Amino acid sequence: MLKYSKVLLALLTAANLTLLALAFGPRLGVQAQEGSDWQSIASSRGLTDADLRAAVMTYTPSGVLDPYVMFASGGHSGQVFVIGLPSMRLLRTIAVFTPEPWQGYGYGAGNEVLAEGEISGQRITWGDSHHPALSETNGDYDGQFLFIGDKANGRVAVIDLRDFETKQIVHNPLYLNDHGGTFVTPNTEYVVEGGQYALPLGGQYAPLSDYQTAYRGMITFWKFNRETGRIDTAQSFAMELPPYWQDLCDAGKLVSDGWVFCNSINTEMATGGIESGNPPFEAGVSRGTTDYLHIINLRAAEQVFQSGGAVEMMGMNIIPLDIAIQNNLLFFAPEPRSPHGVDVAPHGDYMVAAGKLDPHVTVYSFQKIQDAIAAGPTETDAYGVPVLALESVMEAQVELGLGPLHTQFDNQGYAYTSLFLDSAVARWSLGGEGYRPQDGWALQGTIPVQYNVGHIASAEGDTVSPNGGFLVALNKWSVDRFLNTGPLLPQNLQLIDITQPGATMQVLYDMPIGSGEPHYAQIIASDKLHPWEVYPEVGWDPHTQSVDPNAVLPGTEGVTRDGTNVTVRMSAVRSHYTPEHVEIQQGDHVTWTITNVERARDAIHGFAIPVYNINLSIEPGETVTFEFDATQSGVFDWYCTEFCSALHLEMAGYMLVQPTP
Ligand code: CUA
């Protein structure tokens, strides 16, 4: 926070406040004669003291860098948004599951990653990205990798934070959707991907009348190899679960390291069918008073997998449910109605679950869970999974308000829970040792947000040592917060100041996101991120993160032909490509490599060929290779799509495709 305090101090000088006022002044049509001092401008704009406090808490002068970076999922845009805090400036979109032309992702480059994400040979050109997870070392974000799940197609992507690019997409062939992902274990040994809607495994057919016997839930533990920067699918395994709808998961940490917790809904095993007079899902799924918190001994499951306890199905390792039960890998504990998420407290000692249809959060004690397991559960569910009695594992229940969903933590011993129905965020004290025993388990206060908050994210909030200071509410609706741009409204991310103790919190800033719905975010201190400014060496292949042996160094450019296979080797530098003419025949197969030989930061060149759907972003040092069949004859101009220099317009060339006679 040191860097931020300095900025704040600097901002509080009158000179800077005048600048701030000047920045706001013209936009609001403030009359020049009213005075240019900031007090006059603030007064003419009707700004309150609280508004001015919010302004100085968030205003970030030109050239001043944000102390925090938030990685927010892009929902059904399939992407990830990178946002600076507290300025709430959008710094970058990372293309993940969806082709994205600015980054040239899927338009000549990035195709190998998108190909990995194919399901049954079908190229999927979108995703529903839900929960980003930063890699961790000893339970703290380490700034190296980011993972994100695709709820719609049950996939997980790996992003390398050296260049903020997607390197891998994996898919468990046994399952088609997920929600409980991604979450990492404290040293990123595993990336957890919980399922969601129960299905017959492996894409098989089974009628809904066979739901209880043929449908199953699933959780996948993807083994991550930090050296290769890839998930090792051969070392990964899944666990079969009863056909409840597993929801959100979290990994244990410190005392609970080696355990994984997931909530679930639809332990009623409702199958819907409103059109046939059955209760609709919304009623059937919420009929019972409790669902099951899933408690998984991951360390023991790993041993069972490694000693041959898993079976192979469609190339995926899976521990069958009966093996999981026999080896004490899986336990249930009741949780209140329609829970949505379970969050492990910073010291790993408490698990917080909230039922959407219950005004309380329920706090489970990891020690009590261990004691109850040791004592031997006396009940099982319909599938033989041991069920721990709620009173034996519960530490506390705290009444917060209507529709509690997700919980985050800070450095003062407070927890924060989003209240969906109340459109508010509740702050409450953790009464356990090491948090706020002086306050007990108690609601401290709530702050309204606009509107229908889903997830919330606090600074370093999922680590063993949250930073506090800021919290972002990821609101599902924005209604009247912004100028109307038609019936499709943006989501609203609201920045909340949580620096002060007790009930005091303040909404500082509203940030519209005019793209797919951000679900969850993680916020990392920006000094933990060390991305490259340019690629380390000229000729870099970002997919392998090494120099491409086919990189085009100046002097090695040219067009060569072997039968109908044409190889184009091209360099790009301000402000020309070499060569500038490429002459080929209709029917040729073309393999085209371009190296951006620039070493200057931000000297990015684009490369676009019309009709052939080629559009690249070639960053300093990068080498890109793309292939196509020259199906269309004619003359095709190519040009640089990045405004790279005064002679950017001249950075162009011609591809001449002679028609076959
Ligand atoms: Cu290179 Cu414009």
Ligand 1 within 6 A of CB of 508? no
- 559 neighbors 568 (Cβ within 8 angstroms): yes
Identify the H or E element spanning 299: helix 298-306
CB atoms closer than 10 angstroms to residue 501: 14
**pLDDT for the residue 357:** 84
pTM of the model: 0.94
- Measured in Å, residue 104 CA sits from the centre of ligand 1 at 14
Residue-wise pLDDT for 287-296, tens only, equals 888 999 999 9
Centre of ligand 1 from the C-alpha of residue 608, in Å: 11
Give the C-alpha separation, 383 to 614, whole Å.
Answer: 53
The whole-number average pLDDT for the span 105-134 is 94
Q: In this predicted model, which residue has the larger pLDDT, 66 or 356?
A: 66
Q: How confident is the model at residue 34 (pLDDT cuts 50, 70, 90)?
A: low
* Alpha carbon distance, N-terminus to C-terminus of the chain: 70
456-498: per-residue pLDDT in tens?
999 999 999 999 999 999 999 999 999 999 999 999 999 999 9
Residue 6 scores a pLDDT above 60: no
Q: Name the residue type at position 454.
A: G
Coil, strand or helix at 7: helix
Tell me what pLDDT residue 339 has.
Answer: 85
Report the atom number in ligand 1 closest to the C-alpha of 641.
Answer: 2
DSSP string, 95-114: -SSS-BTTTTBTTTBSHHHH
Geometric angle at alpha carbon 147, from 523 and 267, rounded to 5°: 95
Section 588-607 average pLDDT:
98
Q: Where are the beta strands (DSSP E) in 86-215?
A: 89-94, 133-137, 140-150, 155-160, 165-171, 180-184, 190-194
The band of 340, judged by pLDDT with boundaries at 50, 70 and 90, is confident
Q: Report the alpha-carbon distance of residue 161 to residue 217 in Å, rounded.
A: 32
Mean per-residue pLDDT, 414-422: 97
Q: Is residue 300 classed as helix, strand or coil in its secondary structure?
A: helix
Summarize the confidence of residues 519-527 as an average pLDDT.
Answer: 97
Q: Is the pLDDT of residue 180 over 70?
A: yes
Tokens of 333: 């504990």
Tokens 């991120």 sit at which residue? Answer: 529
Strands 360-365 and 350-355: antiparallel
Task: For residue 593, give the nearest of 607, 611, 613, 610 by alpha carbon.
Answer: 607
Instruction: Say which amino acid occupies 306.
Output: Q
Tell me the three state secondary structure of residue 385. coil
Asked if residues 294 and 261 have their Cβ atoms less than 8 Å apart, the reply is yes
Q: Which of 74, 69, 123 is nearest to 96 (CA)?
A: 74
- 88/81 Cα distance (integer angstroms): 11
- Closest ligand 1 atom to residue 574 Cα is 1
Counting from 1 in the atom list of ligand 1, the atom nearest the Cα of 640 is 2
pLDDT at res. 3? 47
Counting from 1 in the atom list of ligand 1, the atom nearest the Cα of 572 is 1
CA distance linking residue 203 with residue 199, whole number of Å: 8
**Higher per-residue confidence, 144 vs 517:** 144
Percent above pLDDT 70 for the chain: 95
Establish whether residue 651 lines the binding site of ligand 1, counting it when its CB lies within 6 angstroms of any ligand atom.
Answer: yes
Phi then psi for residue 658, to 5 deg, are -75, 130
Protein residue closest via CA to atom 1 of ligand 1: 605
Kindly give the number of the ligand 1 atom that is closest to the alpha carbon of 639.
2
Q: What is the pLDDT at residue 26? A: 44
Closest CA to 438 of 446, 427, 430, 447: 430
Phi and psi torsions of 325, nearest 5°? -70, -45
Type of residue found at 646: A
Chain mean pLDDT for the chain: 93
| pLDDT score at 110 | 83
Q: What is the pLDDT of residue 330?
A: 98
Q: Rounded to an integer, what distance in angstroms lies between the CA atom of residue 490 and that of residue 483?
A: 10
User: How much distance in Å is there from the Cα of 582 to the middle of ligand 1?
Assistant: 18
Q: 616 CB less than 6 Å from ligand 1?
A: no
* Residue 332 backbone class (left: φ over 0; alpha: ψ -120 to 50; beta: rest): beta
Is residue 118 helix, strand or coil?
coil
Residue 17 predicted with pLDDT over 70: no
Task: Look at phi and psi of residue 430 and say left if phi exceeds 0, alpha if psi is from -120 to 50, else beta.
Answer: beta
Q: Region 627-644: what's the mean pLDDT?
A: 97
- Asked whether 131 and 137 are in contact (CB, 8 A), the reply is no
642 Cβ below 6 A of ligand 1: yes
Mean pLDDT of 11-22: 43
Q: Give the H/E segment covering residue 525.
A: strand 521-525
Would the pLDDT of 300 be above 90? yes
DSSP state letter for 152: T
Ligand 1 centre to CA of 84 (Å) is 27
Please compute Rg for the chain using Cα positions.
27
Of 263-267, 372-376, 612-616, the range with the lowest mean pLDDT is: 263-267
- Number of the ligand 1 atom closest to the C-alpha atom of 644: 2
Q: Is the CB of residue 185 less than 8 Å from the CB of residue 170?
A: no
Cα 549 to averaged position of ligand 1 atoms, centre (Å): 25
CA 648 – ligand 1 centroid, Å: 4
Report the separation in Å between the CA atom of 65 and the middle of ligand 1, taken as the mean of its atom positions. 27
Sheet of 350-355, strand order: 339-344, 350-355, 360-365, 394-399
Closest CA to 382 of 318, 304, 321: 321
Measured between alpha carbons, how far is 257 from 651 in angstroms, rounded to an integer? 55
Phi/psi at 642 (5° precision): -100, 130
- Confidence at residue 159, expressed as pLDDT on a 0 to 100 scale: 98
In contact, 97 and 117? CB cutoff 8 Å: yes
CB 190 within 8 A of CB 183: no
Reply yes or no on whether the pLDDT at 23 is more than 70.
no
pLDDT at 338: 80
Per-residue confidence band for 600, with pLDDT thresholds at 50, 70 and 90 = very high
Distance 373 CA to ligand 1 centre (A): 64
Beta pairing class for 521-525 and 614-618: unpaired
* Residues 78-95: tens digit of each pLDDT: 999 999 999 999 999 999
**Hey, what are 376's tokens?**
């031997």
**Cβ of residue 654 lying under 6 Å from some atom of ligand 1:** no
CA of residue 555 to ligand 1 center, whole Å = 20
pLDDT, average across residues 172-199 = 94
Mean pLDDT of 571-576: 97
Peptide bond into 182 cis (omega under 30): yes
Q: Is residue 81 within 8 Å of 129, Cβ to Cβ?
A: no
